[in-house]
Structure 1
Amino acid sequence: MYDPIPFKIELDYVTFSGWRWGKGNGQTVIALHGWLDNCASFARIAPGLAAECDLDIWALDLAGHGHSGFRPQGSYYHIWDNVLDLALLMDAQGWESIDLLGHSMGAAVATLMAGAMPDRVGRVALLEGIGPVATAAEDAPSQLAQAAGKYQLLGYKTPSLYASVEDAAEARMKGVGEISYEAALPLAKRGVKASDDGYLWRYDARLRIPSPVRLTEDQINHFCAAIDAPVCLITAEHGFLIDRENTRTRSAHVKDLICHCLPGNHHFHLEPDSCTEVLHELVSFWNGLETE
């Protein structure tokens, strides 16, 4: 097992931070966490995956999350901005091609990246996500209006304060995708900072604003169809993707896809009781041993 190596990568407009696992000479994998999480999302599976498959795993704090920088004032957080971040980060690091490991929102980013730049992506593992949230074309005006209204109220919001990191972890248990304390604590340790009055989450408050514009379901299907890489989609029995029609339709558009459904919740890769099975399937995928 490898202990994480902290890293920072400075681009012209934002600095990216994260944790890295691996010996430095294996296949490069960029790991992308979910909304309002951070790179600690992969703390239970990345060490074993790097060791078993000789991978060099770079788990990012996405822009506005964890220890990475915020987007400049006057800019916003669109899902596709993360794809541009990845392309520029690859150029800065001199990476011709990468593999992708994404959870939830990170899986949405990985889907778009693999579809938009198939020549730069080798393998893709998606945990509890395939493509982003969609908005029907006829709902686009109301979506934009809703986002504008939320931005107008942003300056009046007071961030939540917690007496300790542990209290922040307990609050995270009740957030999007309810998780156990054991899963929430690594996210809190990475994701909060001390202030004069207590602890507060590091993430940019603008991340909580609804997206001004979203892709349509048809557009997302075209991204899925453009993916050339082998894809492994792993869903949780008590996760977000079970019995969703768009999970089936999006999956049907991917040319080389294998699917697994495993016990656990939306954060099954971080939960102590379920992470081992997730790791097993990922190791099989990267070693070319995957089966239906």
Structure 2
Amino acid sequence: MTDPEKSNECLIDVSKIDEISYKLDDLTLAAIACGNKDHQPVLCLHGYLDNAASFLPLMQQITQERNLLADKYVIALDWPGHGHSDHRNVGAHYHFFDYVSDLVALFKLNNWPAIDIVAHSMGAMVASAFAAAFPEKVKSLTLIDSFGFICAPVEETTKQLRHGVLSRIKTVKSSRSFTEDTAVKARMNVSDLQIDHANLIVQRSLVAVKPELNRKTAEEGASTLYRWRSDSRLRTVSLYRLSLVQGQQLFSDISCPLQLIYGDKGMDMVNTGLEQYSSCITNLTITKLDGGHHVHMEQTQELSSLLSEFLSKIKTSV
């Protein structure tokens, strides 16, 4: 895809990273993994409109330093509708709590015991709700640049419902095709991603258009054309939001050791979340790093060390 000479693209040794998948009842979830599959899993969950590739730099760091998480099998999942995972069935939508159900099905399929979860942004919110509702399944929880939930005042319930339903009516699957460079620029325009990190996420988010169209563009000297893999229904608005009281109640039921790692130039919701939710948690470790919302892609050495230390402490305390 993108020519590495045109950017500072990360050089990821994919020979040490496996493509895997999980067949649930109604859809197949794709994932990438590194390490010994016989070891206990560490499940990594990405953010909204990202995919498993957002954890590739961390996996690269882990495979380079053999003493880091050497006894773990690190799995980065593509959420439904994202990356290489299936889209939800016709007529279905992407309700927030449905992602919690997906995790329950995934754990049941693999017969996983309580495991460690590392989660970014939207993935962190889903993981928080999962850890609250199913504490027996979560050994520890590391949240990356996300703390709490997206909430709304109860007075806005009707407005939220109307907005959500209308967004579904307007949603039309785009047939527009574009070059990879265009896709990378579009992704960077709506995030703080560095170009090499945007490349990683975008490459897993694209699918080439029909061969006959690509032959035509090749004859004309143009680049291969792509479309987004992600489900257009992901962009619809939620029909509901939790109230702050509901969000705090959920957070108060998280009983596992909890670690927050966030960027000093990351999302404002982290500082707001700390004000609104930290009093609900008794076992919380907080680390602020130099970086933005995708700090886990920027500060892989620091993150992997923090993660290794955090999990080691949990192991010795058990």
TM-score for both structures, normalised by structure 1 = 0.92
Which residue of the other structure, out of 96, 103, 108, is the alignment partner of 1:91?
108
Post-superposition shift, 1:49?
A: 4.1
- Contact 1:103–1:126 (8 Å) recurs in 2: yes
Instruction: State how far apart, in whole Å, the 1-side matches of 2:240 and 2:16 are.
Output: 39
Determine if the alignment matches structure 1 residue 100 to structure 2 residue 117.
yes
Residues 145 and 270, structure 2, Cα contact 8 Å, conserved in 1: no
1:198-250: CA deviations, max 9, x gaps? 21111100101111112111111111111111011011000004673333221
The structure having more radius of gyration, on CA atoms, is: 2
Cα displacement string for residues 255-291 of structure 1 (whole angstroms, at most 9, x for unaligned residues): 21100110011011113xx3322222222212229xx
Task: Determine the structure 1 residue equivalent to 2:6.
Answer: none
Aligned counterparts of 2:133 and 2:265: Cα–Cα separation in 1: 30
2:94 is paired with a residue whose SS is coil
Instruction: Report how far residue 162 of structure 1 moved.
Output: 1.6
In the alignment, what sits opposite 1:172? Answer: 187
Partner of 2:177: 161
Alignment of 1:204-215 (within 5 A): 204-215=231-242
**Is the counterpart of residue 19 in structure 1 residue 46 in structure 2?**
no
Secondary structure of 2:204's partner? helix
Equivalence for 1:277 = 302
Q: Which amino acid aligns with 2:185?
A: E
> In the alignment, is the contact (CA less than 8 A) between 1:236 and 1:242 conserved in 2?
no
Match of 2:44 in 1: 31
How many pairs were matched up? Answer: 284
- Contact in 2 for aligned 1:241/1:247 (Cα 8 Å): no
Which one-letter code corresponds to 2:198 in the other structure?
Answer: A
Distance 1:243 1:38, change over 3 A: closer
Matched position secondary structure for 1:122:
strand
The percent identity for this pair of structures is 31
DSSP-derived class of the 2:124 partner:
helix
For residues 160 and 217 of structure 1, the distance between their equivalents in structure 2, rounded to whole angstroms, comes to: 39
Structure 2: 5+ residue runs without aligned partners? 1-12, 214-224
Look up the equivalent residue of 1:58 and give its one-letter code.
I
Report the secondary structure of 1:6's partner residue: strand
Q: 2:282 aligns with which of 252, 255, 273?
A: 255
Q: 1:1-292 counterparts in 2 under 5 A?
A: 3-49=16-62, 51=66, 52-53=68-69, 54-155=71-172, 158-163=174-179, 165-175=180-190, 177-196=191-210, 198-241=225-268, 244-271=271-298, 274-288=299-313
TM-score, with length taken from structure 2: 0.84
Amino acid at match of 1:185: N
Does the C-alpha gap of structure 1 residues 243 and 45 become closer, same or farther in structure 2, counting only changes over 3 Å?
closer
Flag the 1:121–1:183 CA change in 2: closer, same or farther, 3 A. same
Between structures 1 and 2, the one with greater helix share: 2
Residues 242, 152 of structure 1: alpha-carbon distance in 2 compared, 3 angstrom cutoff = closer
State how far apart, in whole Å, the 1-side matches of 2:75 and 2:233 are. 25
